Amino acid sequence: MKIISKQDFDAFINALIQDESLDVEGVKAKGDKFVFGPLDTATELRLDYDVTILPPKKYFLPQYETMMHFDISTGKATAPAMDTKKVIVGVHPYDLIAIQQMDKYFFDTNVDDIYLQKRKNSLLIGVMPAKASEKAFYGDLMKNAGTPELHFDLMVTDLGVLYAVLPGTPEGAQLLSRATSRDAQPQEIEAAKNKRQEAIDRATRGLKVGPKAWHSLLSNNYMSSIWKEMADQCLACGSCTLVCPTCFCYDVNDEVGLDLNTGVRTRTWDGCLLRDFTKVAPGEIFREDIVERYRHRINRKGKYLPESMGFVACVGCGRCSSQCVPDIADPVNLINKLAEATMDTIPDTNMGHVPEKSDLGIIASDSLYIPRTATIRRMMKLTKTETFFEIGLDDGQPLGHVPGQFVEVSIYGVGEAPISVSSPPGGNTFQLIVRNVGDLTNKLHSLSEGDKIGIRGPFGTGFDTEGMRGKNILFIGGGLGIVPMRSLIKYVLNNRADYGKVMILYGCKDPSELLFKDEISQWENTPGVEMHRTVDTCAEGENWDGQVGVITTIMPMVTFDPLNTIAVVVGPPIMYRFVNRDLLNMGMPEENIIVSLERRMKCGVGKCGHCQINGIYVCKEGPVFNYKDIKDEPEAFS
């Protein structure tokens, strides 16, 4: 630990500001509040602040961020130029914890290269809080948290007339060597330690249940009437999520210039309190009721992210509660309310809110977001609204998917949409069947053979073709559900000897919506395949030789041993409830039912947050699920 006089510290900051290779950002006053912003001089720096309006998250996941520049005519995209190296001065420990959480989230499984680059390109100078804001409760969260290791380059503690500065990384130490400093005396080290404890103790507000027990508390109270009581006062304005240092959800948009050719793909903060957050192109909103959105926010923090990432996504900064005008966002108030209403004992888990120190040495293998170029090899209109596309990647590589996975189809200037792959694995091309429902699919339908598109993926978890081996397979497809199912049907038929009896039940609205007419008659005539099809309604005089009625009416037409049969069910949300109920009544074990679920899969890589079913990221853990694993998620089939 080093000791710097306040005067020398100012000189140090001013020297950094003078260094043209650095962009020095720090805490400044804005009215009677504080914000992080570019520093012109050290005198602007307000290390005595309580909390900033927005967290330093904005430096790593900015409010508006260019992901790539594109040129529609050439079909090329380029990553944005690298920013000047940032030094961020005055980050409080709770925000350092939030950054550590963000690191874990964005480095998990698919490393977000855009985030990583910004993160590697910044130095963090922390400061112990000189005062706590009215709503802060990081002190409550730190009880029983021990002394976790935080990631910072330098940590500053105000000792009155002097600053104690502790380097946390070699880069930090190197930066500090630019300052006039001396080694700290033992009593100064002790004083700094006391200051840290004082800072923590100051920010306590009587939280009744510590973060390690939030998981149990929230699990036991999902159906509590408190959610509705609070949500009735909610404006659904999204402020609580927007100012939160541990809310990472974002939306992606393409913006085209007035030249109609060049533009940028950007990401911008989104929030689960906003009504459109879960809206898919056909119009369905999966969390339409405000109480579902209100409950989701807190559950994501206290239950879902602990399950998937191992940390409670709250750091006690108090920003949400200070920004919520109806005053219903405060986690302390809510957790205490739930705790008071609950009779059960609330056991601790081992998941606190401080993840282990970040590893910035991590390497991103590929650009997560820039698509590969592909060519439409063949197009064929199937129905009024569906078109068949055969796509080849321009690098000549096979897609390498398994049945049930999806790709993100990208058209610069329009955007991206998740589309299920409909062909079986193998070959140098793959097939998509696309319904014309939104901007992207609309544009895709207007293209021609030979046109270029972008492809990212394959993404998601597909069907477990190995686990199905030796079993009878009962396919139950409704409407567009036949599209991802076709990939598996063809795979099973190509490997016929590996599977038992094959039964296919396919239902759609009316005969005009029937897809794959030729293939269906082929399947019908394949020995060892039993196929039945039905339509909800059939106009008089229409040519139709199948059944009429919803899909459950043709289920009794097949006989099978439920213990030795796997049912693969894919269709619109409403279908699952009835089909699964009937299968269970037939004696089929829950683990023999496989479903594929649709949600708003915007990024495809488990980052943007839109596709969550409770805590499950459909784009990563799904879209294919074993019914047994997903049935207890309240949002799965509601």
* Interacting residues with other proteins (CB under 8 A): 30-33, 35, 53-54, 58, 63-64, 232-239, 242-243, 253, 255-260, 268-269, 271, 274-276, 290, 323, 325-326, 413-414, 438-439, 442-443, 446
> Minimum distance between the CB of residue 42 and other proteins, rounded to whole angstroms?
22
- Cβ atoms of 70 and 77 within 8 Å: the answer is yes
> Minimum distance between the CB of residue 415 and other proteins, rounded to whole angstroms?
9
Residue 237 and residue 489: Cα distance in Å, rounded? 45
> Minimum distance between the CB of residue 207 and other proteins, rounded to whole angstroms?
24
Nearer to other proteins, 190 or 232 (CB): 232
Residue 31 and residue 33: Cα distance in Å, rounded? 5
Residue 320 and residue 314: Cα distance in Å, rounded? 10
DSSP code of 43? Answer: G
Residues 6+ apart with CB under 8 A from 129: 50, 92, 93, 136, 199, 202, 203
Residue 372 and residue 563: Cα distance in Å, rounded? 43
Spatial CA neighbour of 51 closest among 136, 141, 117: 136
Nearer to other proteins, 260 or 362 (CB): 260
Phi and psi, residue 32, nearest 5°:
-95, 15
Nearer to other proteins, 326 or 528 (CB): 326
> Minimum distance between the CB of residue 564 and other proteins, rounded to whole angstroms?
48
Nearer to other proteins, 31 or 541 (CB): 31
Ramachandran assignment for 282, one of left (phi > 0), alpha (psi -120 to 50 degrees), beta (any other): alpha
> Minimum distance between the CB of residue 64 and other proteins, rounded to whole angstroms?
7
> Minimum distance between the CB of residue 235 and other proteins, rounded to whole angstroms?
4
Nearer to other proteins, 243 or 483 (CB): 243
- Cβ atoms of 368 and 459 within 8 Å: the answer is no
Nearer to other proteins, 235 or 557 (CB): 235
> Minimum distance between the CB of residue 238 and other proteins, rounded to whole angstroms?
5
Nearer to other proteins, 30 or 509 (CB): 30
> Minimum distance between the CB of residue 149 and other proteins, rounded to whole angstroms?
30
Nearer to other proteins, 307 or 439 (CB): 439
Residue 168 and residue 16: Cα distance in Å, rounded? 18
> Minimum distance between the CB of residue 156 and other proteins, rounded to whole angstroms?
23
> Minimum distance between the CB of residue 57 and other proteins, rounded to whole angstroms?
12
Burial call 203-229: b when 16+ CB within 10 Å, e when fewer = bbbebebbbbbbbbbbeebeebeebee
Nearer to other proteins, 271 or 460 (CB): 271
- Cβ atoms of 401 and 421 within 8 Å: the answer is yes
Q: Which two tokens stand for residue 611?
A: 């596709």
Q: How many alpha carbons lie under 13 Å from residue 279 in its C-beta half-sphere?
A: 14
Give, for 142, the enclosing helix (H) or strand (E).
Answer: helix 138-142
Nearer to other proteins, 53 or 548 (CB): 53
> Minimum distance between the CB of residue 325 and other proteins, rounded to whole angstroms?
5
Q: Which two tokens stand for residue 370?
A: 């820039």
Residue type at 523 in one-letter notation: W
- Cβ atoms of 314 and 130 within 8 Å: the answer is no
Nearer to other proteins, 257 or 347 (CB): 257
Q: Secondary structure of 157-193 in the HEC alphabet?
A: EECCCEEEEEECCHHHHHHHCCCCCEECCHHHHHHHH
Is 247 exposed, middle or buried (CB count within 10 Å of its CB: 0-12, 13-18, 19+)?
buried
